[in-house]
Amino acid sequence: MHTQVIVLNGGSSSGKSRIARSLQAVLPDAWLSLSVDTLVDAMPARLTTGGDGIGFAEDGGVDVGQEFMTLQDAWIAGLVAMARAGAHLVVDDVFLGGAASQRRWLDALGDVPTLWVGVHCDAAVAEDREAARGDRVSGMAAKQADVVHEGVAYDLEVDTTNTESMDCARAIAAHLGYLSERSAVEQTPTRGGRS
Amino acid sequence: MHTQVIVLNGGSSSGKSRIARSLQAVLPDAWLSLSVDTLVDAMPARLTTGGDGIGFAEDGGVDVGQEFMTLQDAWIAGLVAMARAGAHLVVDDVFLGGAASQRRWLDALGDVPTLWVGVHCDAAVAEDREAARGDRVSGMAAKQADVVHEGVAYDLEVDTTNTESMDCARAIAAHLGYLSERSAVEQTPTRGGRS
Amino acid sequence: MHTQVIVLNGGSSSGKSRIARSLQAVLPDAWLSLSVDTLVDAMPARLTTGGDGIGFAEDGGVDVGQEFMTLQDAWIAGLVAMARAGAHLVVDDVFLGGAASQRRWLDALGDVPTLWVGVHCDAAVAEDREAARGDRVSGMAAKQADVVHEGVAYDLEVDTTNTESMDCARAIAAHLGYLSERSAVEQTPTRGGRS
Amino acid sequence: MHTQVIVLNGGSSSGKSRIARSLQAVLPDAWLSLSVDTLVDAMPARLTTGGDGIGFAEDGGVDVGQEFMTLQDAWIAGLVAMARAGAHLVVDDVFLGGAASQRRWLDALGDVPTLWVGVHCDAAVAEDREAARGDRVSGMAAKQADVVHEGVAYDLEVDTTNTESMDCARAIAAHLGYLSERSAVEQTPTRGGRS
């Protein structure tokens, strides 16, 4: 059965959203890209400053309260329904709870064909990229780099430390059996040295 | 039964998203704010330049193709499932198809308690606000101001031409039976002259 | 001599940037719109979290340190040079220091023909708009509404409480002797009731 | 004499702005980061849709008209004045005119101590990154990759094809004689394999 949902899990600044955008460019169907950031943006402002919602500490720590969790469960249920209604989804998320976070998705996804992708990035490199973006609380990248993968099971793992987002996307597309003409051309030896 | 979904329908630059943010501030529960812009942002870039997707012409015209419609149906199904799973939603949309657009939502919403709100704004004022934002294609506001309301049935209609977004939100909250302490204070005569 | 610089001074969420964008739309020449936000965005991230830079407290208070002031002086000098080199500028600023803030601009501007515009907004309305934007620290609007105007001298004052940004811009353009065809048409009785 | 201005020149999606943000993080003084994008954002909307302003064609081509050039000259004069007034500037630009573009900056900078940095990126990689960003007209990266460097003289050249933005920034900082404690630590063998 064809994969309907691709879940990208990785720490902040690991490159998830760039891989998601790249997947949209290389995959033949129209995939929607939605992330936990979309959910946070949709929340009332008062739920994004800690408490029962989600809080971003000055040291890069992220705390999640009960109300955030409740809304997130409904959010996940909605995304799964979107997939069941026919939409292809690339979801990028940060499994702050590791295996427990994946469990919540698994319970909601049921038999929806899903590809689980771990997005790794060396903590020091992710920290550098966080500074280069200039729009993230410093410290998140390093704190999340490893913990989000604890106990999580993947179909495929990619690492952006030395590989471009687009090349990670091509690897995911190839794993799914898609190999666009463009990818085929670009994976000839003229590009081979880089990926 | 309590309202689970508030649908705000109005033309571009009529003030929908500001009313949505205001509703999040005045309503006691945590409402998620999602809009057709969220959907467009989630789409592959190639679907946002016309063709089968959505296209924005230089004169402010908006064309929607079959692939956009298909994805939007799945999107709507997902949002309804989010509401059924317990999330309160403020959805802002632009019913380019008027009554036909509302019909699609009605079919998907079924018995989910929904409040239908028409967001009006004088076309010339909306056009001025479009210019003042400086980030929208010029002409959308004027073209959409009236057509999006054709044949649409509402529980409540607000008009931002002379009323602040927050005051429109308070009117909606009052209609729902919510009157926060803050609203009560602010609706005393010291504010009365304006609303 | 023709006005080369328009300085808009007002509190947060008073409508300065919308007036600036509107001015760009109605004025015949090409005016550049630059604001203190442009300066803050240009600063290293570490200068936007307090200390010697600029800090935004949770209650809406804004503190400005010595390094911020030094950079701002150079910024102002640069903008004045831009104007002397022929660019028309709309500058929007928040005179946290009231008359002292204006003094710094006056000293830098020298004989550059400048129009000083005070942008007022009822504190409660500005606070509502701040909430409706959903992207500002709550409390800034109310705290700054009056204090930024203390001791500041203006050529013209506008009030966005009951007047659209674009209509404020038209009033400023008219004061400068510009009355575009579009404005003339729109100020006929069909619009008269609102402005 | 100490360098007051760092000019980064490179094609779209070559990594200039990430290097600029990284430089702000590693350099000891407070450097302002300003780019041609800042200028375009400051312009009236009507100057960003072609004609006498700047136009972005669907194939990634960029056309610049006379009014854009005139405003840009004033912009450059202003930035140089900012530097003369004491601000340290990282300027990122796209020399669409190659050597002629540099000439305009050289004439304006006069004796202001400036470091000229060429930012290279393999055209195919830049094109991939352009797609991964998802917010740029497709085709700009490939078109600009080489042409912007034609006839331009540099003090230092970096290449982001296989080097992180932050590591490019560290190389620039080292060239300037700055080697922050943090850089020293991070350039130990534990990171050596990557850069």
- Banded pLDDT at A187 (limits 50, 70, 90): very low
Assess A43–B contact: CB distance below 8 Å, yes or no: yes
Among left, alpha and beta (phi > 0; psi -120 to 50; other), residue A177 is left
Q: For residue C58, list chain A residues with Cβ-Cβ distance below 8 A.
A: 49
Q: For residue D165, list chain A residues with Cβ-Cβ distance below 8 A.
A: 128-129, 132
Tens digit of each residue's pLDDT (9 = 90 or more) over A145-173 = 999 999 999 999 999 999 999 999 999 99
Among chain C residues, CA nearest to B134: C21
What pLDDT is recorded for position C49? Answer: 87
Among chain A residues, CA nearest to B21: A44
What pLDDT is recorded for position C134? Answer: 81
For residue A54, the distance in angstroms to the closest alpha carbon of chain B comes to 13
Other Cβ atoms less than 10 A from the Cβ of D43: the count is 22
Tens digit of each residue's pLDDT (9 = 90 or more) over D172-191 = 999 999 875 454 434 333 32
What pLDDT is recorded for position B50? Answer: 87
- Banded pLDDT at A1 (limits 50, 70, 90): low
What pLDDT is recorded for position C58? Answer: 85
Determine what percent of chain C is predicted with pLDDT higher than 90.
82
Distances (CA, A) of D101 to A26, A179, D97, D122, D153: 36, 41, 5, 22, 11
Please list, in sequence order, all residues whose beta carbon lies within 8 angstroms of the beta carbon of residue D125, skipping any fewer than 6 positions away: A164, A194, D161
Tens digit of each residue's pLDDT (9 = 90 or more) over D143-179 = 999 999 999 999 999 999 999 999 999 999 999 998 7
Q: For residue D69, list chain C residues with Cβ-Cβ distance below 8 A.
A: none
- Residue A43 has its nearest CB partner, among B30, B79, B84, at B30
Q: Is a pLDDT exceeding 80 seen at residue D68?
A: yes
Selected for mutation to probe chain C from B90, B128, B135, B167 (highest C CB count within 10 Å) is B128
DSSP secondary structure of D92-155? EE--TTTHHHHHHHHHHHTTS-EEEEEEE--HHHHHHHHHHH-SS-TTHHHHHTTGGGTT---S
What pLDDT is recorded for position A180? Answer: 52
A12-16 mean pLDDT: 95
The answer to whether D78 touches C87, Cβ cutoff 8 Å, is yes
Q: Report residue A150 as tokens.
A: 């604890």
Q: Do A132 and D25 touch (CB under 8 A)?
A: yes
What is the rounded distance in angstroms from the CA atom of residue C172 to the CA atom of residue C183? 12
Q: In what order do the strands lie in the sheet with D114-120?
A: D31-35, D88-93, D5-9, D114-120, D156-159
What pLDDT is recorded for position C195? Answer: 30
Assess C19–B contact: CB distance below 8 Å, yes or no: yes
Among chain B residues, CA nearest to C123: B191
Q: Do B164 and C128 touch (CB under 8 A)?
A: yes
Q: Do C22 and B132 touch (CB under 8 A)?
A: yes
Other Cβ atoms less than 10 A from the Cβ of C129: the count is 22
Assess D42–C contact: CB distance below 8 Å, yes or no: yes
Tens digit of each residue's pLDDT (9 = 90 or more) over D103-145 = 999 999 999 999 999 999 999 999 999 999 987 778 999 999 9
Q: Do D30 and C24 touch (CB under 8 A)?
A: no
Round the CA-based radius of gyration of chain C to a whole number and report it. Answer: 17
Q: Do D25 and C31 touch (CB under 8 A)?
A: no
What pLDDT is recorded for position A171? Answer: 97
Q: How many CA atoms lie within 13 A of A32 on its CB side?
A: 29
- Average pLDDT along chain C: 90
- Banded pLDDT at B37 (limits 50, 70, 90): very high
Considering only CA atoms, which of B88, B102, B90, B97 is closest in space to residue B35? B90
Selected for mutation to probe chain B from A71, A76, A90 (highest B CB count within 10 Å) is A71
Q: Is a pLDDT exceeding 50 seen at residue A190?
A: no
- Banded pLDDT at C180 (limits 50, 70, 90): low
A53-71 mean pLDDT: 92
Q: For residue C165, list chain B residues with Cβ-Cβ distance below 8 A.
A: 128-129, 132
Q: Is a pLDDT exceeding 80 seen at residue A192?
A: no
ipTM of the complex as predicted: 0.90
Selected for mutation to probe chain A from D128, D161, D168 (highest A CB count within 10 Å) is D128
Please state the pTM of the whole predicted model: 0.90
Q: Do D132 and A18 touch (CB under 8 A)?
A: yes
- Average pLDDT along chain A: 90
- Higher local confidence (pLDDT), C193 or A44: A44
Question: Which of D29, D37, D107, D146 does the annotation list as catalytic?
Answer: D37
Active site residue A107: no
Tens digit of each residue's pLDDT (9 = 90 or more) over D2-33 = 999 999 999 999 999 999 999 999 999 999 99
Residue with token string 């080292």: D174
DSSP secondary-structure letter at D46? G
What pLDDT is recorded for position B181? Answer: 45
What pLDDT is recorded for position B134? Answer: 81
Restricting to A residues 57-86, those with a Cβ less than 8 Å away from any Cβ of C are 58
* Chain center to CA of C75: 15
Distances (CA, A) of D143 to A191, B36, D61, D122, D127: 18, 33, 7, 11, 9
Assess A134–C contact: CB distance below 8 Å, yes or no: yes
The answer to whether B163 touches B9, Cβ cutoff 8 Å, is no
Question: Which of C37, C63, C73, C107 does the annotation list as catalytic?
Answer: C37
The number of residues making up chain D comes to 195
Tens digit of each residue's pLDDT (9 = 90 or more) over B75-122 = 999 999 999 999 999 999 999 999 999 999 999 999 999 999 999 999
The answer to whether B12 touches B92, Cβ cutoff 8 Å, is no
Give me the total of CB pairs closer than 8 Å, taking one residue from chain B and one from chain D.
8
Residue with token string 């106990």: A151
What pLDDT is recorded for position D180? Answer: 52
Q: How many CA atoms lie within 13 A of C166 on its CB side?
A: 21
Q: For residue C134, list chain A residues with Cβ-Cβ distance below 8 A.
A: 45
Q: For residue B112, list chain A residues with Cβ-Cβ distance below 8 A.
A: none
Determine what percent of chain C is predicted with pLDDT higher than 70.
91
What pLDDT is recorded for position A188? Answer: 35
Q: Is a pLDDT exceeding 80 seen at residue A49?
A: yes
Among chain C residues, CA nearest to B186: C124
- Higher local confidence (pLDDT), A5 or B194: A5
Considering only CA atoms, which of A97, A98, A114 is closest in space to residue A106? A114
- Residue D45 has its nearest CB partner, among B49, B58, B134, at B134
Tens digit of each residue's pLDDT (9 = 90 or more) over C39-57 = 999 999 999 888 899 998 8
Considering only CA atoms, which of D107, D95, D108 is closest in space to residue D64? D95
- Banded pLDDT at C1 (limits 50, 70, 90): low
- Average pLDDT along chain B: 90
Assess B28–A contact: CB distance below 8 Å, yes or no: no
Q: For residue D122, list chain A residues with Cβ-Cβ distance below 8 A.
A: 194
- Banded pLDDT at D58 (limits 50, 70, 90): confident
DSSP secondary structure of B54-82? EEE-TTS-EEE-HHHHHHHHHHHHHHHHH
Tens digit of each residue's pLDDT (9 = 90 or more) over C97-140 = 999 999 999 999 999 999 999 999 999 999 999 999 987 778 99
